[in-house]
């Protein structure tokens, strides 16, 4: 009796902590993100490049999907050697996208429609043309921005090849090398070293004046935009800030401190990490959301990458009609992160993003296949992230030339996932009135390419399927961001994938079969009075209830959502 009482008290305390935690913005529970790559969404002035006024004109469309939060890739002044991730001025919108006032108007117009707006904070580096970096190059090390960057005198010989690759030779009076973060034109900002080596005077501790000044600058940038009404940030390469930090303790501490400041000042603001390790980012660094995506081999690669970067040898993946994929890699990793961040934040699974292939890629290119993939994305826990165009099944294009650094240093094709949005049947699919040769990136040449207009009135379209799923999700605590998740099928018998979403008495059983074979799964009985099919992409799976075990048989390439009574 006593134990029961203690357990109950603990349970109440725990749920109080979760629901009343000031660290979680109240709206996140219902948040559905829509990611916009600004140069590719909607051009309003006919120069072939998307812009802010174009985005404003499409806000009603975004709302019509059931999305309620936008994440915009960087819009700040840039040299565009890395699609805007090489910032020259964090306090101004680049003129090709409009003005700061346009961005404020976008925020206001979005808010009127119940849409929140998140920007992209490139916290780890700047452009090498940023005035801070230019000043930092001077021999005088006592200038305002001198220590915003890291200036090694030599490359230590005890470091790995990877770490040595970060040292970029320089003829600046200040030093022989600077440290880069991504491309050589992106010098790393100096947040200090977790384990500074006294023999390397450029390795400043995290609490040294330079690194502290950089932190203050980041807070200024955050406050500058938050005070204009923005709702939060996705933080680029958030895991990269503190150097020589193998266990990420320094970087977690840094974000933990930043988050404390942020949450106090902007309790309804959101911080989303690009870390690809939700346990570290959320449980350690205090972020609200992190992605499980493409970054590491074990992330979501095993589920969706059927052709790495679109240009290389085909890979075997789970969401493929061949049905030769495996689930263990993903499930082990996902379950670990899911448990570690439960109640603290979300490990989100984006449909794709500007860095890696869309679901429509290679042989995963039919409507039923794409619907199965979308069912997965929109019925998993955590806030959904829909990358623009995935809601109509836009294709990942291969064979495109480099556009503004789209071909990463490893030769990956990122242009193929950044092609302009396909709105309608007019020239350039309604993206721009510019001559086709001037488009930011060439569009899918297929005359049958998917468009919003063509799908709008087709009840079976991908677009309307996304709307249907999001509507269902918004009306259900079980299917929502916080609903519980449990794998039901056997991880060693990967097809079909069956999982349960639940909240209190409300339960949904999701059955996904990406393969072109009829497949069956058996799992411990859910002890329900009935399984009602609520959504299906093909003939529904068959659910048989048993005393000890339940059984589902799924037709080829199908998704079924059952409501358990
Ligand atoms: C990650 C961004 O998503 C990517 O597009 C960019 O190239 C690198 N960070 C460098 O900022």
pLDDT in tens, 414-428: 999 999 999 999 999
User: Helix, strand, coil proportions of the chain in percent (round to 5)?
Assistant: 30, 20, 50
Task: Please work out whether the CB of residue 234 comes within 6 Å of at least one atom of ligand 1.
Answer: no
Distance (angstroms) between ligand 1 centre and the Cα of 74 equals: 10
Q: Whose CA is nearest to atom 2 of ligand 1?
A: 236
Distance (angstroms) between ligand 1 centre and the Cα of 234 equals: 11
Residues 540 and 534: their CA atoms lie apart, in Å, by 9
Task: Please work out whether the CB of residue 236 comes within 6 Å of at least one atom of ligand 1.
Answer: yes
Average pLDDT over residues 84-103: 98
pLDDT value, residue 295? 61
Look up residue 42 and give its DSSP letter. Answer: -
pLDDT value, residue 315? 85
Q: Tell me the whole-structure pTM to 2 decimals.
A: 0.95
**Per-residue pLDDT for 250 more than 80?**
yes
Contact 337, 278 (CB under 8 A): yes
Q: Which atom of ligand 1 is nearest to the CA of 408?
A: 7
Distance (angstroms) between ligand 1 centre and the Cα of 238 equals: 11
Least confident segment among 303-307, 453-457, 485-489: 303-307
**Per-residue pLDDT for 554 more than 70?**
yes
**Per-residue pLDDT for 518 more than 80?**
yes
Residues 471 and 535: their CA atoms lie apart, in Å, by 12
**Per-residue pLDDT for 237 more than 60?**
yes
Q: How confident is the model at residue 296 (pLDDT cuts 50, 70, 90)?
A: low
- Taking only the tens place, the pLDDT of each residue in 107-130 is 999 999 999 999 999 999 999 999
Residues 1 and 181: their CA atoms lie apart, in Å, by 57
Q: Which atom of ligand 1 is nearest to the CA of 86?
A: 11
Bridge partner residues of 348 (DSSP): 291
Look up residue 429 and give its DSSP letter. Answer: G
Least confident segment among 74-83, 106-115, 290-299, 524-533: 290-299
Residue entry with tokens 């949450």: 263
Q: Whose CA is nearest to atom 7 of ligand 1?
A: 82
Q: How confident is the model at residue 297 (pLDDT cuts 50, 70, 90)?
A: low
C-alpha 16, offset from chain centre: 29
Task: Please work out whether the CB of residue 85 comes within 6 Å of at least one atom of ligand 1.
Answer: yes
**Per-residue pLDDT for 308 more than 70?**
no
- Taking only the tens place, the pLDDT of each residue in 150-198 is 999 999 998 999 899 999 999 999 999 999 999 999 999 999 999 999 9
Bridge partner residues of 554 (DSSP): 519
pLDDT value, residue 20? 33
Mutate to test the pocket of ligand 1, among 182, 290, 309 (most ligand atoms within 8 A of CB): 182
pLDDT value, residue 309? 59
Task: Please work out whether the CB of residue 354 comes within 6 Å of at least one atom of ligand 1.
Answer: yes
Phi, psi of 499 (to 5 degrees): -140, 160
Residues 539 and 68: their CA atoms lie apart, in Å, by 31
Q: How confident is the model at residue 434 (pLDDT cuts 50, 70, 90)?
A: very high
Q: How confident is the model at residue 311 (pLDDT cuts 50, 70, 90)?
A: low
Average pLDDT over residues 75-82: 98
Residues 73 and 334: their CA atoms lie apart, in Å, by 26
Q: Which residues, in sequence order, are CB contacts of 348 under 8 Å at separation 6+? A: 33, 289, 290, 291, 292, 382, 383, 384, 385
Task: Please work out whether the CB of residue 356 comes within 6 Å of at least one atom of ligand 1.
Answer: no
Q: How confident is the model at residue 12 (pLDDT cuts 50, 70, 90)?
A: very low
Residues 208 and 269: their CA atoms lie apart, in Å, by 28
Q: Where are the beta strands (DSSP E) in 65-163?
A: 69-72, 76-78, 87-93, 116-121
**Per-residue pLDDT for 4 more than 80?**
no
When the pLDDT of each residue in the chain is averaged and rounded to a whole number, the result is: 94
Distance (angstroms) between ligand 1 centre and the Cα of 85 equals: 6
Task: Please work out whether the CB of residue 82 comes within 6 Å of at least one atom of ligand 1.
Answer: yes
Bridge partner residues of 503 (DSSP): 506
Distance (angstroms) between ligand 1 centre and the Cα of 82 equals: 7
Residues 518 and 516: their CA atoms lie apart, in Å, by 7
Task: Please work out whether the CB of residue 237 comes within 6 Å of at least one atom of ligand 1.
Answer: yes
Q: Whose CA is nearest to atom 5 of ligand 1?
A: 355
């Amino acid at each position: 009796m006593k134990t029961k009482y203690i357990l109950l008290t603990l349970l109440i305390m725990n749920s109080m902590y979760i629901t009343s935690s000031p660290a979680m913005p109240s709206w996140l529970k219902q948040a559905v993100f829509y990611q916009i790559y600004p140069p590719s969404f909607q051009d309003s002035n006919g120069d072939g490049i998307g812009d802010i006024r174009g985005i404003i004109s499409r806000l009603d469309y975004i709302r019509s999907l059931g999305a309620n939060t936008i994440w915009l890739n960087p819009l700040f002044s840039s040299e565009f050697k890395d699609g805007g991730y090489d910032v020259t001025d964090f306090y101004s919108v680049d003129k090709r996208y409009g003005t700061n006032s346009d961005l404020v108007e976008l925020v206001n117009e979005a808010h009127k429609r119940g849409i929140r707006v998140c920007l992209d904070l490139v916290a780890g580096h700047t452009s090498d043309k940023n005035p801070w970096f230019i000043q930092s190059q001077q021999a005088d090390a006592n200038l305002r921005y001198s220590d915003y960057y890291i200036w090694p005198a030599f490359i230590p010989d005890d470091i790995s090849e990877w770490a040595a690759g970060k040292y970029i030779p320089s003829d600046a009076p200040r030093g022989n090398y600077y440290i880069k973060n991504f491309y050589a034109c992106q010098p790393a900002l100096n947040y200090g070293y977790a384990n500074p080596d006294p023999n390397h005077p450029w390795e400043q501790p995290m609490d040294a004046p330079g690194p502290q000044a950089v932190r203050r600058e980041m807070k200024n940038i955050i406050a500058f935009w938050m005070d204009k009404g923005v709702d939060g940030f996705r933080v680029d390469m958030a895991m990269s800030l503190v150097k020589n930090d193998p266990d990420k303790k320094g970087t977690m501490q840094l974000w933990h401190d930043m988050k404390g400041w942020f949450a106090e000042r902007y309790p309804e603001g959101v911080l989303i990490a690009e870390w690809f390790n939700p346990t570290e980012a959320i449980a350690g660094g205090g972020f609200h959301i992190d992605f499980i995506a493409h970054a590491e081999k074990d992330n979501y690669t095993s589920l969706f990458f059927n052709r790495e970067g679109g240009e290389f040898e085909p890979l075997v993946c789970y969401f493929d009609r061949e049905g030769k994929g495996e689930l263990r890699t993903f499930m082990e990793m996902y379950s670990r992160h899911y448990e570690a961040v439960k109640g603290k934040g979300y490990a989100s699974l984006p449909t794709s993003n500007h860095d890696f292939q869309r679901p429509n890629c290679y042989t995963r290119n039919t409507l039923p296949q794409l619907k199965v993939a979308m069912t997965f994305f929109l019925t998993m826990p955590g806030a959904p992230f829909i990358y623009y165009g995935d809601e109509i099944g836009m294709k990942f294009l291969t064979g495109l030339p480099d556009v503004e650094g789209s071909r990463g240093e490893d030769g990956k094709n990122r242009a193929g996932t950044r092609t302009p949005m396909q709105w309608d049947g007019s020239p350039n699919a309604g993206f721009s009135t510019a001559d086709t040769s001037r488009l930011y990136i060439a569009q899918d040449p297929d005359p049958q390419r998917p468009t919003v207009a063509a799908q709008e009135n087709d009840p079976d379209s991908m677009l309307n399927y996304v709307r249907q799923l999001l509507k269902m999700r918004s009306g259900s605590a079980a299917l929502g961001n916080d609903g519980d998740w449990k794998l039901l099928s056997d991880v060693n018998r990967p097809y079909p994938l069956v999982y349960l979403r639940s909240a209190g008495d409300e339960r949904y059983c999701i059955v996904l079969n990406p393969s072109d074979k009829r497949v069956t799964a058996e799992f411990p009985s859910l002890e329900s009075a009935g399984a009602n099919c609520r959504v299906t992409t093909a003939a529904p799976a068959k659910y048989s209830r048993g005393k000890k075990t339940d059984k589902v048989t799924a037709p080829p390439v199908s998704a079924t959502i059952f409501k358990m009574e």
